[in-house]
Structure 1
Amino acid sequence: MPSDKHDPPSTGTPDTVSLDGTQRAIPTWTEPLAATASAPIGGPLGEHATVGRHWFWSPLRVGLLLAVLTLTAGWFGKAACIQQFVNDQGQTELDWRSGRPYVAMCYSDVVPLYTAERLDRGDTFPYATSWVDNAGTDRAQVRFMEYPVLTGLFQWVNAKLTHAWTDVSAAGWLPGALPVAVYFNITALFLALAWLVTVWAVARISRRRPWDAVLVAISPLVIVHAFTNFDTLAVALATAGLLAWSRRQPALAGLLLGLGAAAKMYPLLLLGPLLVLCLRAGKLRAWTTAAGTAAGTWLAVNLPFLLFLRQGWAEFFRLNTERGMDPDSIYNVISHFTGWAGFDGPLAHGETPTVLNSVSGALFLLCCAGVAYLALAAPTRPRLTQLCFLVVATFLLTNKVWSPQYSLWLVPLAVLALPRWRLLLGWMIIDALVWAPRMFYYLGIDNKGLPESWFLGTVVVRDLAVIALCVLVVREIYRPSEDLVRADGVDDPAGGVLDKAPDVVVLRRPAPVS
């Protein structure tokens, strides 16, 4: 139980207690937000409090419980979009009348994709089943499943489970509902489990600071976007891959990153920071193992579809190549406020924005070069998650697409890279609040929605918040004494073979001429 005295015990450093030989940071001593939040349960940890002896509760289990509550809130936030009504013909329909998905701010891609991807039919298979959009017009286009293979199969399996559920419910053994509602709930269950894996992995990586995983658990972005799309799968696999790397298992890390890339391509970005850090530390063999395993895993998942269902398999790449600047990309922000027509000018339907693709790719590579220089030239080798956060953040900032759920990619990386609770919660709240003007912008001014300028204004604030986090990460790289993770002589908890490794390749500035 907390005592009246809140000074740190003599067994640890000023901000930690010793637990089984490990210094554990106490957030109620270091984070004003945590200290304030602890008031209902007795206030900050006391000097003589017993730590790590409870038979059940631990930082991880508290984090998982909070994650369950947060995910439950997220489900209720989307539940309005799976309500149903009986129409004039006596048929049950999904109640999306009067712009409900936008007015209730419950929109989720999971719901419309059930029919759009032909998952509601029993005789379909991803990448083999095709259909024609805009049939009979000059914009007719043969379409296939538009997601990477693992995500496409995830949707298909959930659809099969939905069909089985509806068959059993028709016999009276299970409660019945519209198939799309059943599909959403089954999908949400697995997406929630994936986020719990993410919380678990962050807690295990942050051995000295396990309470930081609470930020991943209670993130407002989870409430808004855990069930907006399917991204928690890739986030869980990427974070578990970092955990495997931290435990000096590069092959397992590569396997998990490869699976993550088969669900969403972004986990492959993490191999870049690993490369430059392994180069600096002379650990290229470990990187080669991880990268080779990741490439082999991705290929093993994709090869059957590449060989036998190539056109369907290529749909994801075709759509991403032909896609123009999304509403909340920096390019669209500039275009809207300046009247700029974009790098390619007006595009016909299906025309590829070649210049935009080249510019966004070049800007990202330029940022990667800057991160690589930072990794090799910083006085102290940066931590792995610091560079991972910078790479993924710059990818989102320079990319032509920043779908709202992509912000989930940053949550575990930000917590591991910059565990400053008030700053991170501030950014997460800003990012989550972008959802409200987005929904009312999609509703349309004619339906009492908001003009695009309001939405794009919040996008600018979100981007500035992410840029500010990047600046702070770079600042701590150059001032490691201010890095909370590196207190008490800790080097890199997520570094694995990099942790405490001596430098081998370092870019040094030339000494000034006297």
Structure 2
Amino acid sequence: MTGSSGTRPAAFVVWALTRAVLLLWVTKVVTPPGLDVTSDVSVIYHGWSEVLRSGSYPQSDVTWQYPPVAALAVLSPALLPFLDYATAFYVLAFLCDALVLGMLLRASDGPGRRAAGVWVWVAGVPLLGTTAYARYDVMVTAVAVAALLAGLRHPRVLGALAAFGALLKVWPALVLAGTARGRATRLAWGTAAAVAAGLLLVCVAAAPGALAFLGFQRDRGTEVESLGALVFHVWRQFGWEGRVELHYGSLEFLGPHVPLVSTLALGLSVAAFGWLLVWRLKARTFGVSTPADAAFTAVLLFTTTSRVISPQYMLWLVGLAAVCLVLRESRMGWPAVLVVAATGVTQLEFPIGFVHVVTSDAHGLTLMFLRNGLLVAACVLAAVRLWRDTVRAPSREAVREAAEPALSRAGRADTPASAP
């Protein structure tokens, strides 16, 4: 499918209809199924904004687990003073959603591009339900999408946006994983380091508690929706004596052997980082889609192996998958499909079926195995395809060197023989 003029109105119509439903849900004009997830905005975010406006980060609140630039997202509803805090936040989330759509539509035009990525975003966001607008992750995803698309031509812009995104929510730093060796990497990584250092200094100087989030993140446990939590969901059926409690802002398993499983999850993340490093050292072919493919794969690996897989994390994957599928060269089609399917299952487990997940009943077990199974399958498939396309594929230099003798022979054959 190519980015044709016919795609634009169809994508926009579907986007407008689904986003209208999301806005009606989060503003409670219509009551969606499942738990109400908007209290994070109206209570938690609003409370943080009051603390931030007083001149300090929420350094005594263990639920504040975000890098210092996240303060901008929490304070952003002040840009719309004529609305109450929650409504202003939802409107800004909607505008960021629209921004991503616009960037993808523009990027889908031209040779080597296609509209599949536009449809990944159009379909993927509403599959997450109200969580999509009731967290600030759509804002972070917009920054990451902008970074990758800008990086196709401007490595410095990629680096600057990656640094800004990393200080919003850490993970956008991974969009730098697939930059081509040489000048592009030097420009992108150097710019990212300089911008990150500058922003961090400004935040530390501006208010106390800018780095408090580091300690709060360190003490997280095994959240009930994570891959490691499957151990305890199953073990509960055989008499495990642990419990589920609200801990550091999320529902986590607490009890025997939880620290061990949390440590093993960290080990998986370290292994994922090790694989990514090996890939980076061995990759020989960096194509147009490699930065997006590598970013998608990296974030997918770290999300899946994390001790915490909050529902809103799926937005990151949907946004990065959308960028991949805008580029015709990308082979991340099936991993993207698996991610979109996992996003739909995520809404079924949270908020719709969350009580089943917390109690580890048969329904909850089915949902968690299905969602996490889809993520694991996407990880394996994405990693294999990235490796094959960049490590096993011959480099451009090798192709050129192999072609030169044949071209030389062809040139000699085409040269007219001299007259006797």
TM-score normalised to structure 1 length: 0.62
Q: Which residue of 2 aligns with 1:468?
A: 377
Q: Which amino acid aligns with 1:112?
A: V
How far did 1:399 drift? Answer: 0.8
How far did 1:127 drift? Answer: 6.1
Contact 1:71 1:222 (8 Å CA) reproduced: no
Q: Which residue of 2 aligns with 1:333?
A: 230
How far did 1:334 drift? Answer: 1.0
Q: Which residue of 2 aligns with 1:128?
A: 56
For residues 105-125 of structure 1, the C-alpha deviation after alignment (integer angstroms, 9 at most, x for no partner) is: 4413212224442x4x5x852
Q: Quick one: structure 1 residues 331 and 143, their matched pair in 2 at CA, closer, same or farther if it must change by over 3 Å?
A: closer
1:147 aligns with 2:49: no
2: CA distance, partners of 1:298 / 1:225? 29
1:226 aligns with 2:154: no
Q: Quick one: structure 1 residues 400 and 151, their matched pair in 2 at CA, closer, same or farther if it must change by over 3 Å?
A: same
Contact 1:380 1:477 (8 Å CA) reproduced: no
For residues 215-270 of structure 1, the C-alpha deviation after alignment (integer angstroms, 9 at most, x for no partner) is: 212224354432131001111111111111112x1111111111111211100012
Q: Which amino acid aligns with 1:165?
A: F
Which one of 162, 173, 181 corresponds to residue 257 of structure 1? 162
2: CA distance, partners of 1:348 / 1:110? 18
How far did 1:152 drift? Answer: 1.8
1:291 aligns with 2:189: yes
1:70 aligns with 2:18: yes
Partner secondary structure for residue 302 of structure 1: helix
Q: Quick one: structure 1 residues 314 and 453, their matched pair in 2 at CA, closer, same or farther if it must change by over 3 Å?
A: farther
Q: Quick one: structure 1 residues 455 and 373, their matched pair in 2 at CA, closer, same or farther if it must change by over 3 Å?
A: same
How far did 1:475 drift? Answer: 4.8
For residues 14-43 of structure 1, the C-alpha deviation after alignment (integer angstroms, 9 at most, x for no partner) is: xxxxxxxxxxx449xxxxxxxxxxxxxxxx
1: CA distance, partners of 2:127 / 2:55? 31
How far did 1:501 drift? Answer: 5.6
1: CA distance, partners of 2:12 / 2:346? 26
Partner secondary structure for residue 384 of structure 1: helix
Q: Which residue of 2 aligns with 1:494?
A: none
1:457 aligns with 2:374: no
How far did 1:129 drift? Answer: 6.0
Which one of 62, 65, 75 corresponds to residue 156 of structure 1? 75
Which one of 432, 435, 438 corresponds to residue 350 of structure 2? 438
Percent identical pairs in the alignment equals 20
Which one of 193, 196, 221 corresponds to residue 95 of structure 2? 193
2: CA distance, partners of 1:454 / 1:234? 32
Partner secondary structure for residue 400 of structure 1: coil
2: CA distance, partners of 1:183 / 1:69? 24
Which one of 22, 27, 35 corresponds to residue 79 of structure 1? 27
2: CA distance, partners of 1:304 / 1:314? 12
2: CA distance, partners of 1:234 / 1:373? 28
Q: Which amino acid aligns with 1:147?
A: Y
Which one of 32, 37, 43 corresponds to residue 107 of structure 1? 37
For residues 164-184 of structure 1, the C-alpha deviation after alignment (integer angstroms, 9 at most, x for no partner) is: 426xxxxxxxxxxxxxxx322
Unaligned runs of 5+ in 2: 249-253, 400-420
1:270 aligns with 2:175: yes
1: CA distance, partners of 2:261 / 2:70? 27
1:217 aligns with 2:147: no
2: CA distance, partners of 1:310 / 1:503? 54
Partner secondary structure for residue 273 of structure 1: coil
Q: Which amino acid aligns with 1:125?
A: R
Q: Which amino acid aligns with 1:68?
A: A
Q: Flag the structure with higher helix content.
A: 2
> Which has more radius of gyration?
1
Q: Quick one: structure 1 residues 379 and 259, their matched pair in 2 at CA, closer, same or farther if it must change by over 3 Å?
A: closer
Q: Which amino acid aligns with 1:264?
A: K
Contact 1:71 1:226 (8 Å CA) reproduced: no
Which one of 165, 176, 184 corresponds to residue 82 of structure 2? 165
How far did 1:298 drift? Answer: 2.4
How far did 1:147 drift? Answer: 3.2
2: CA distance, partners of 1:107 / 1:372? 37
Contact 1:60 1:210 (8 Å CA) reproduced: no
Q: Which residue of 1 aligns with 2:148?
A: 242
Partner secondary structure for residue 93 of structure 2: helix
Q: Which amino acid aligns with 1:195?
A: D
Q: How many residues align?
A: 375
1: CA distance, partners of 2:246 / 2:273? 32
Contact 2:100 2:142 (8 Å CA) reproduced: yes
How far did 1:404 drift? Answer: 0.3
1:366 aligns with 2:268: no
How far did 1:317 drift? Answer: 1.9
TM-score normalised to structure 2 length: 0.74
Q: Which amino acid aligns with 2:186?
A: T
2: CA distance, partners of 1:465 / 1:348? 26
Q: Quick one: structure 1 residues 463 and 130, their matched pair in 2 at CA, closer, same or farther if it must change by over 3 Å?
A: closer
For residues 193-227 of structure 1, the C-alpha deviation after alignment (integer angstroms, 9 at most, x for no partner) is: 22222233334444433311122122243544321
